[in-house]
Amino acid sequence: MHSQASIQSRHSTKNLILNALPEEDFKRLLPNLEPVELKLGQVLCRPEELINHIYFPNNSIVSVVAMTPEGQCTEVGVIGREGIVGMDALMGADSAPNENIVQQAGGASRININAIKTEFKRSGALQDSLLLFTRLLMIQISQTALCNRLHSLEERLTRWLLLCRDRSENDELQLTQEFLASMLGANRATVTMSAIALQSAGFIKYRRGHITIIDHEGLKDFSCDCYGIVKREYDRFKK
């Protein structure tokens, strides 16, 4: 019965880390894995707040957001089904340095921090996968910093849309102007102009709160090299 539950749970998750675990490793986690629905705007981790759970996104997407004491913010990373939210708690910290906020609602698996720490300390497949994911997230964050410094808002928006599409496997993205502006570190009017420019080029269809990617290949061709560098690394991870 337990083995059957394990199989069913594997079929119900799209998270690449959980799906890649050997059967015995997955069975050890299974009693503590809880399916949850993440809501748009839900904050999973806040700076200086104790991390009690680790989240494995399925079709949901979580933004890693750096903030100033005055409340100014910008997105520095995106986490989807390739990773986890709350990795800091497995690397010797009790809290995350950045806010982790749900940018696309959807399913995830949640596990108590003590249960996953026990498995992580076995130094097996889970630890290997999580350390590799951490490396990939560091590459994404460093490339985002470079992109924000060197490239136009249209290119940054393109990179961001493609990263979101890769993680959701969906051309339909529900995004408010305010959220987009916060994630890209720009004002709403400028973000709107950039989205309209991408629409005029035939890459997307844009209306307030909703973006549809209609020319995926064209969007990739228009994007700066930053997207391609990150995608190549993540594609190696998925093989």
* pTM for this predicted structure: 0.88
Q: In Å, how far from its chain's centre is CA 105?
A: 11
Among residues 162, 167, 173, 168, which one has the least CA distance to residue 217?
162
In whole angstroms, how far apart are CA 95 and each of 29, 70, 116, 117, 206? 22, 20, 15, 14, 37
d(CA 130, CA 117): 12
Structure tokens that stand for 31 in this block: 């009693």
Q: Using DSSP, how many helices (H) and how many strands (E) does the chain show? A: 10, 10
* pLDDT computed for residue 36 by the predictor: 96
Handedness of CA 158, 186, 168, 215 (dihedral sign): negative
Per-residue pLDDT of the chain (239 residues), as tens digits, is 344 444 445 556 889 999 999 999 999 999 999 999 999 899 999 998 999 999 999 999 999 999 888 888 888 999 999 999 999 999 999 999 999 999 999 999 999 999 999 999 999 999 999 999 999 999 999 999 999 889 999 999 999 999 989 988 888 888 777 778 877 888 888 888 999 999 999 999 988 778 999 999 999 999 999 999 999 988 887 66
* pLDDT computed for residue 82 by the predictor: 93
What domains sit in the chain, N to C, each tagged with a CATH number? Answer: 2-145 (2.60.120.10), 152-223 (1.10.10.10)
* pLDDT computed for residue 168 by the predictor: 81
Secondary structure of residue 104 in the 3-state scheme: strand
* pLDDT computed for residue 191 by the predictor: 87
Residue entry with tokens 């808002």: 153
Handedness of CA 204, 174, 109, 5 (dihedral sign): negative
